[in-house]
Amino acid sequence: MASIYALRAFVRRHKWWQNAVFLTGLVSLITVFSVAFLGADSAPRAVWTDQPLGRVDSPQFAESLSHLVNAPLERGGRVEVLDNGDGFLPALLRDIRGAGATINILVYVWEDGRMSDQVLDALLERQRGGVAVRVLVDGIGGDGAPDERFRALEQAGGRVARYREASLGTWTRLHRRNHRRAIVIDSEVGFVGGMGISDQWLGHAQDAEHWRDMMFRVTGPMARRLQAAFVGSWVSSSGEIVVQPPAAAPAPEAASADDDGVERFIHHLNSPADDDRSMAYFYLMPILAARESIYLTTPYFIPDEPLKQALRERAQAGVDVRLLVPGARTDHLVTRFTGQNAYATLLEAGVKIYEYGPTFIHSKVAVIDGRWSVIGSPNLNSRSRRLDEENALAVLDRALGRQLEQRFFADVVRSSALDLDEWRRRGPLLRLIQFSARLIEQQS
């Protein structure tokens, strides 16, 4: 009762507008606190299978994963690994200049600079040559895009759209971004991975200003499936429905090449809802099936409880589990400190953790048992699991697995391995920073 009398006295002592301002501020504070720290999440704390999983190269595993994420299981096509900008940019420009009908580009980041100029020069030339060019960038990630150059492309007949630009009508969904990478040319060649169009991706990760990253050039069925990541986002941003042309009947030699392509692949798109964790399971299920090795490279590592538990269990079962993450050179220190909260329990279980030193490592790759590879736009963090539009390819192919393992260990050579005893002796200031960062984990 005393609190009620005190509240009444407070109201009587102040003018009506002062009470209104106070009430508005109080409600706003409670709302912000609830959204930032108390966001309801119905995700399970543990995930398991009802029976033992087959190996990642077994039909049982592939069909189970396909059903789990509601994405078709397919085969055919080829994957080419492109290291850094020196690998990606020449391949992209070559394919753009060879385009005969359509060029559809979806990237999260597009910033003005030398890389942008080269890509836009090639796009403008092909648009003037009669090729239909469409460019979709995220409304936040593409904030640094060259508007004047984009207008020149539009004046030549090209189409440019932005996904969910900041406005009064979108503010409640502004934190949900389109993080996908899907570049598709003539429905037959595609690019997917971690890169965007910005000068930090130029070169070969030669200094702290140029990032270590990978893109993947895919052909045939994989490129046609990649088109789905573009067209759905495109119509919601531009209003245009892109009608897929019928696939041309392959020549006999092309059919033979496809037969020699990847044995199996699944292309998964996610548009997260509160209870949809399909992208998390897309990575988790191969880890649960691992028998020999798990090699993960991610720029943003904030594992949920099921992922931490799976990595610990596999390491304790004798699987070689290794994690490669950025060191001090990162573009998001809060995310780095948040992820470090999981290091002790992982190291204790036998997981080997490496921090990359020379520059920011932005590669997003998982290789399981040297056979099953996951490539694409997602990070192993809360945003990719719960908030952002993402797309990824899971590929069963031993040759690709070997290539990615070789690159993983080449990057490990340039990294520092964490030692469990040293990590336990880290200072109180670092522990405080890590604890503070953990409070905003769900927003990272």
User: Which has the closest alpha carbon to 88: 327, 363, 328, 274?
Assistant: 363
**Token duo for residue 1:** 């009762």
Residue 9 φ then ψ, to 5°? -65, -40
Judged on CB neighbours under 10 Å (0-12, 13-18, 19+), 148 is: exposed
Rounded Cα distance, 79 and 302, in Å: 28
Boundary (domain end) residue, out of 198, 227, 259:
259
Same domain, yes or no, for 214 and 293?
no
Half-sphere exposure of 415 (CA within 13 A, CB side): 24
**Token duo for residue 249:** 């009947």
Share of the chain above pLDDT 70, in %: 83
Query: Of the given ranges (29-33, 121-125, 413-417, 433-437), which has the lowest mean pLDDT?
Result: 29-33
CB distance 135 to 211 below 8 Å: no
Write down the pLDDT at residue 368: 98
Domain harbouring 352, CATH code: 3.30.870.10
Same domain, yes or no, for 311 and 439?
yes
**Token duo for residue 90:** 């020449």
pLDDT tens profile 190-231: 999 999 999 999 999 999 999 999 999 999 999 999 999 999
Report whether pLDDT(22) > 90.
Answer: no
Asked if residue 186 belongs to a domain, the reply is yes
Better-scored residue on pLDDT, 28 or 238: 238
For residue 197, the SS3 value is: strand
Write down the pLDDT at residue 255: 44
Same domain, yes or no, for 324 and 297?
yes
Write down the pLDDT at residue 431: 85
Asked if residue 9 belongs to a domain, the reply is no
Report whether pLDDT(289) > 90.
Answer: yes
Residue 388 φ then ψ, to 5°? -95, 150
Entry pTM: 0.88
DSSP notation for 252-263: HHHHHHHHTS-S
Write down the pLDDT at residue 205: 97
Residue 179 φ then ψ, to 5°? -100, 10
Same domain, yes or no, for 329 and 232?
no
Rounded Cα distance, 444 and 301, in Å: 10
Write down the pLDDT at residue 395: 98
Write down the pLDDT at residue 254: 45
Boundary (domain end) residue, out of 230, 259, 288:
259
Rounded Cα distance, 428 and 177, in Å: 35
**Token duo for residue 434:** 């890590």
Same domain, yes or no, for 297 and 230?
no
**What would the mean pLDDT of 132-160 be, rounded to a whole number?**
96
**Token duo for residue 242:** 């892109």
Write down the pLDDT at residue 276: 76
**What would the mean pLDDT of 345-357 be, rounded to a whole number?**
98
Asked if residue 39 belongs to a domain, the reply is no
Same domain, yes or no, for 149 and 119?
yes
Rounded Cα distance, 323 and 336, in Å: 13
Rounded Cα distance, 292 and 318, in Å: 8
**Token duo for residue 201:** 């991706």
**Token duo for residue 241:** 């429905």
Rounded Cα distance, 304 and 43, in Å: 10
Rounded Cα distance, 218 and 265, in Å: 11
Q: Which H helix or E strand runs over 214? A: strand 214-219
Report whether pLDDT(257) > 80.
Answer: no
Please state, rounded to an integer, the average pLDDT across all residues of the chain.
89
pLDDT tens profile 109-133: 999 999 999 999 999 999 999 999 9
Asked if residue 271 belongs to a domain, the reply is yes
User: Which has the closest alpha carbon to 365: 438, 301, 426, 313?
Assistant: 301
Give me the domain span that covers residue 344: 59-71+263-443
Report whether pLDDT(10) > 80.
Answer: no
Rounded Cα distance, 192 and 298, in Å: 15
Better-scored residue on pLDDT, 440 or 342: 342
Rounded Cα distance, 327 and 414, in Å: 11
**What would the mean pLDDT of 73-90 be, rounded to a whole number?**
98
pLDDT tens profile 168-190: 566 556 667 889 999 999 999 99
Residue 134 φ then ψ, to 5°? -130, 135
Same domain, yes or no, for 109 and 221?
yes
Boundary (domain end) residue, out of 259, 288, 312:
259
Same domain, yes or no, for 437 and 305?
yes
Residue type, 43: A
Asked if residue 29 belongs to a domain, the reply is no
**What would the mean pLDDT of 257-269 be, rounded to a whole number?**
83
**What would the mean pLDDT of 86-95 be, rounded to a whole number?**
98
**What would the mean pLDDT of 397-408 be, rounded to a whole number?**
98
Same domain, yes or no, for 344 and 373?
yes
Q: Which H helix or E strand runs over 9? A: helix 2-13
Q: Which H helix or E strand runs over 434? A: helix 428-438
Write down the pLDDT at residue 17: 66
Share of the chain above pLDDT 90, in %: 73
Better-scored residue on pLDDT, 255 or 275: 275
Q: Which H helix or E strand runs over 79? A: strand 79-83
Asked if residue 197 belongs to a domain, the reply is yes
Count of domains observed in the chain: 2
Asked if residue 47 belongs to a domain, the reply is no
**What would the mean pLDDT of 41-64 be, rounded to a whole number?**
89
CB distance 399 to 386 below 8 Å: no
Asked if residue 282 belongs to a domain, the reply is yes
Same domain, yes or no, for 187 and 268?
no
Which DSSP category does 44 fall into? -
Rounded Cα distance, 277 and 272, in Å: 7
Residue type, 179: H
CB distance 400 to 216 below 8 Å: no
Confidence of residue 50 (pLDDT cuts 50, 70, 90): very high
Same domain, yes or no, for 319 and 358?
yes
Write down the pLDDT at residue 167: 61
Across 186-319, where does the E strand assignment appear?
189-193, 214-219, 264-270, 293-297
pLDDT tens profile 227-250: 999 999 999 999 999 997 766 555
Same domain, yes or no, for 230 and 284?
no
